[in-house]
C-alpha cells in the first residue's frame, strides 16, 4: 500500500511504508540536489509523523528523474515488523548540529580580563629650613578612639629604592594599567545541548573543555598585542537508535589585542582550531540476517546487497575533520561607584565552521554513509554587566576581587545549510540518491549568571601574578532546554 502526502502543493509518493529504508524518502521529479534543498526547506515540518522516525531524510533527484527508494534495493525475505524497523534505522545519520554547535561554544571562552592593583608614585617635598616658631598652641581635643598622631597620616604605602608608592584609589585603573610582557595559561569547560527537539532532530548533549597558553606585550600605555595556542576536547552523546558519537581533539592558535583607557576598552580575538576525531554510529540491523539462505538471497532484486547484510558489523565509523575560525570583539565601559567596580559590556563572536566530507567504513556495508562538505556559521552576542569589589589584603600589592557577571546571551540563527549525504551503492538505475538532513538550529537566548574570584599580587620591579576562577549557568528561554554550565580558571604572570 502506498501513502501520498503533500509539501506546499507538491505531490510526493513514497513506496510501501512498511518497507521504508530510511526515516522518510521523498521523491522529486526534477532539479538538482541544491534545488531539492530549497523545495523541502522549512516545509519538512509538515510531513505526516507516521512517515517519520525521529528525523526526516529527504531523497533528492539526481537529474535523471526520481531515483527508486532504497527499499527496492534492500528487500530481504521475511524481514517485517521490528526487523524492518532496524533495517530502516541503520541509515540514520547523527544530528547535524551537534559538532558545530559544540566547537562554537568552545570559541566563546577565549577572552578574559583581570584586575591588578596599581600604585601612584608619591613625591615628597623636602623639609623646609627651621624658622623661629611662636609659642605652641593647646593640643586639640581628640576622640579616645583615634590613635594616629594629628598631622602624621601616612602619605604613602611603602618606599622602594628611594621611590614612594601609594595604592591608587581608581578601581578602573586596576583593569587598565598594563606593563611590559605577560604570559598566561588558562583552562575552561562547559556544556551545550540541542535546540528545542522534535521528530526531525534527536536530542543531544555535549561537554567541551580545553586549555590556552599565551604571550602578550604592552607596546604602549594603551595597547597590548599577543598570541596564543589552544587545545580542546569535546564529548558528545545523542538520544538516537544508532547512538552516534564524535569526541574530537582540537589544536589551534590565534592573536589577541586590547586597547584601553580607564573608562573604555575594546578587546579582540582572531583564531582557528582544527578538530579531528572518529565519528561512530551503531547499525541496529547488524546480526539480524543470519537466517538467509543462498537460494533466498539469489531470488532477491539485489543479491549483492542482501548477501552483505549477513556480515554487516555492529557499528560503522569514519574520520571527521572540522576547521573552526573565530572572530570576537568585546567593548566595555568601566565605572566606579564608591568601592564598587561596575562594567557594562557587549560581546560579539562569529564562528565559521568547515566540515570536511568523509565516508564511513569498518565493514558496515551497505549502511555506510558518505557525508558531503558543509559550512556553517554561529553568531553570538552577549550584553550585560560585571560587578566587582576589589579588596586589599595585608600582603603588599595583594588584591582579592569577588565578582559577578549578569548578561543576556543570544545565539542567532544563520540559516545554516542542510547536511548532505549518500548511500554507498548505486540503485537499480545506476544512480546514487542524495539525502539531506536540515539544520535544526534556531535563534535562542539565555540568562547568564557567573560568579568568580580573582587573587592578584602587584610587585614593583618584579614579577606580578594573577589567579582567577569562574563558574556559572546559562538558563535558556526555551523551557524544554536544560540549563548549561561553564567554568574557567587560570594564571597570568606580568614581568
Cell numbers placing 214: 599565551
Lowest mean pLDDT among 16-20, 350-354, 477-481: 16-20
Please check the confidence at residue 214 and state whether its pLDDT lies above 50: yes
Do 206 and 83 lie in one domain? The reply is no
> Per the structure, how many domains does the chain have?
2
Do 239 and 385 lie in one domain? The reply is yes
Number of C-beta neighbours around residue 82 at 10 A: 10
Do 352 and 464 lie in one domain? The reply is yes
Do 71 and 197 lie in one domain? The reply is no
Q: Calculate the alpha carbon distances from 435 to 25, 356, 373, 417, 441 in Å.
A: 9, 17, 13, 13, 19
Do 72 and 174 lie in one domain? The reply is no
Bigger pLDDT: 13 vs 485: 485
Q: How confident is the model at residue 34 (pLDDT cuts 50, 70, 90)?
A: very low
Do 113 and 37 lie in one domain? The reply is no
Do 114 and 39 lie in one domain? The reply is no
Residue 321 · residue 252 · CB < 8 Å: no
Residue 373 lies inside a defined structural domain of this protein: yes
Q: Which range, 10-14, 34-38, 140-144, has the best average confidence (pLDDT)?
A: 140-144
Q: How confident is the model at residue 9 (pLDDT cuts 50, 70, 90)?
A: very low
Residue 424 lies inside a defined structural domain of this protein: no
Lowest mean pLDDT among 142-146, 183-187, 325-329: 142-146
Q: For residue 134, how many C-alpha atoms fall within 13 Å in the half-sphere facing its CB? A: 2
Q: To the nearest 5 percent, what fractions of the chain are helix, strand and coil?
A: 10, 45, 45
Please check the confidence at residue 6 and state whether its pLDDT lies above 90: no
Q: Calculate the alpha carbon distances from 460 to 232, 412, 457 in Å.
A: 36, 46, 10
Q: Note the pLDDT tens digit of each residue in 124-148.
A: 665 555 666 666 666 655 544 444 4
Residue 186 lies inside a defined structural domain of this protein: yes
State mean pLDDT over 170-176: 81
Q: How confident is the model at residue 203 (pLDDT cuts 50, 70, 90)?
A: confident
Residue 457 lies inside a defined structural domain of this protein: yes
Do 14 and 69 lie in one domain? The reply is yes
Residue 208 lies inside a defined structural domain of this protein: yes
Q: How confident is the model at residue 10 (pLDDT cuts 50, 70, 90)?
A: very low
Q: For residue 10, how many C-alpha atoms fall within 13 Å in the half-sphere facing its CB? A: 16
H/E segment holding residue 36: helix 33-40
Residue 105 lies inside a defined structural domain of this protein: yes
State mean pLDDT over 441-469: 89
Do 14 and 110 lie in one domain? The reply is no
The phi, psi pair for 373, rounded to 5°, reads -60, 155
Rounded Cα distance, 405 and 454, in Å: 13
Q: What is the pLDDT of residue 276?
A: 97
Q: How confident is the model at residue 28 (pLDDT cuts 50, 70, 90)?
A: very low
Q: How confident is the model at residue 52 (pLDDT cuts 50, 70, 90)?
A: very low
Per the structure, the complete domain to which residue 214 belongs is given by 98-120+167-284+316-418+440-494
Rounded Cα distance, 87 and 106, in Å: 36
Residue 154 lies inside a defined structural domain of this protein: no
Do 272 and 381 lie in one domain? The reply is yes
Looking up residue 212, the CATH number of its domain turns out to be 2.40.128.130
Do 108 and 60 lie in one domain? The reply is no
User: Which of 70, 89, 108 marks a domain boundary?
Assistant: 89
Q: Is the peptide bond before 366 cis (omega within 30 degrees of 0)?
A: yes
Q: What is the pLDDT of residue 37?
A: 32
Q: Note the pLDDT tens digit of each residue in 378-422.
A: 999 999 999 999 998 888 778 899 999 999 999 999 989 888 888
Rounded Cα distance, 290 and 303, in Å: 15
Residue 423 lies inside a defined structural domain of this protein: no
Q: What is the pLDDT of residue 120?
A: 63
Checking DSSP bridges between strand 398-412 and strand 374-388, what pairing results, if any?
antiparallel
Do 61 and 115 lie in one domain? The reply is no
Cell numbers placing 349: 563572536
Number of C-beta neighbours around residue 209 at 10 A: 19
Bigger pLDDT: 308 vs 173: 308
Amino acid at each position: 500500500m502506498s501513502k501520498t502526502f503533500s509539501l506546499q502543493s507538491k505531490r510526493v509518493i513514497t513506496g510501501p511504508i512498511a518497507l521504508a529504508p530510511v526515516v522518510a524518502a521523498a521523491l522529486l521529479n526534477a532539479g538538482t540536489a541544491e534545488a531539492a534543498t530549497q523545495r523541502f526547506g522549512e516545509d519538512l515540518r509538515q510531513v505526516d509523523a507516521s512517515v517519520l522516525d525521529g528525523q526526516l531524510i529527504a531523497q533528492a533527484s539526481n537529474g535523471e528523474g526520481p531515483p527508486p527508494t532504497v527499499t527496492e534495493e534492500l528487500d530481504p525475505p521475511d524481514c517485517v515488523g521490528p526487523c524492518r524497523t532496524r533495517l530502516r534505522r541503520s541509515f540514520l545519520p547523527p544530528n547535524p548540529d551537534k559538532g558545530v554547535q559544540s566547537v562554537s561554544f568552545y570559541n566563546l571562552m577565549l577572552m578574559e580580563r583581570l584586575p591588578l592593583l596599581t600604585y601612584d608614585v608619591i613625591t615628597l617635598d623636602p623639609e623646609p629650613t627651621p624658622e623661629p616658631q611662636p609659642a605652641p598652641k593647646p593640643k586639640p581635643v581628640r576622640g579616645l578612639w583615634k590613635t594616629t598622631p594629628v598631622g602624621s597620616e601616612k602619605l604613602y604605602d611603602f618606599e622602594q629604592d628611594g621611590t614612594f608608592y601609594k595604592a591608587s584609589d581608581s578601581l578602573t585603573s586596576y583593569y587598565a594599567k598594563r606593563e611590559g610582557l605577560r604570559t598566561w595559561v588558562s583552562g575552561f569547560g562547559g556544556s551545550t545541548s540541542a535546540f528545542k527537539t522534535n521528530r526531525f532532530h534527536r536530542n543531544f548533549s555535549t561537554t567541551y573543555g580545553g586549555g590556552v597558553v599565551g604571550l602578550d606585550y604592552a607596546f604602549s600605555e594603551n595597547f597590548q598585542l599577543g598570541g596564543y595556542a589552544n587545545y580542546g576536547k569535546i564529548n558528545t552523546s545523542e538520544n538516537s537508535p544508532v547512538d552516534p558519537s564524535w569526541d574530537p581533539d582540537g589544536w589551534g592558535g590565534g592573536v589577541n589585542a586590547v586597547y584601553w583607557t580607564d573608562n573604555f576598552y575594546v578587546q579582540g580575538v582572531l583564531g582557528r582550531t582544527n578538530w579531528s576525531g572518529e565519528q561512530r554510529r551503531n547499525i541496529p540491523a547488524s546480526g539480524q540476517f543470519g537466517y538467509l539462505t543462498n537460494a533466498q538471497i539469489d531470488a532477491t532484486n539485489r543479491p549483492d546487497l542482501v548477501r552483505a547484510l549477513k556480515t554487516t558489523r555492529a557499528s560503522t565509523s569514519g574520520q571527521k575533520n572540522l576547521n573552526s575560525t573565530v572572530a570576537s570583539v568585546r567593548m566595555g565601559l568601566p565605572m566606579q561607584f564608591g568601592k564598587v567596580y561596575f562594567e557594562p559590556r557587549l560581546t560579539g563572536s562569529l564562528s565559521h565552521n568547515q566540515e570536511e566530507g568523509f565516508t564511513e567504513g569498518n565493514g558496515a556495508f551497505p549502511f555506510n554513509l558518505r557525508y558531503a562538505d558543509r559550512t556553517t556559521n554561529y553568531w553570538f552576542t552577549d550584553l550585560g554587566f560585571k560587578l566587582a569589589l576589589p579588596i586589599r589584603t595585608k600582603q603588599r600589592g595583594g588584591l582579592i576581587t569577588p565578582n559577578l557577571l549578569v548578561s543576556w546571551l543570544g545565539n542567532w540563527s544563520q540559516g545554516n545549510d542542510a547536511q548532505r549525504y549518500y548511500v554507498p551503492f548505486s540503485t537499480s538505475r545506476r544512480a546514487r540518491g542524495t539525502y539531506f538532513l536540515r539544520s535544526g538550529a534556531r535563534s535562542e537566548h539565555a540568562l547568564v549568571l557567573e560568579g568568580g574570584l580573582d587573587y592578584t599580587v602587584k610587585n614593583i620591579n618584579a614579577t606580578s601574578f594573577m589567579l582567577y576562577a569562574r563558574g556559572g549557568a546559562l538558563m535558556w528561554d526555551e523551557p524544554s532546554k536544560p540549563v548549561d554550565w561553564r567554568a574557567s580558571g587560570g594564571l597570568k604572570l606580568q614581568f
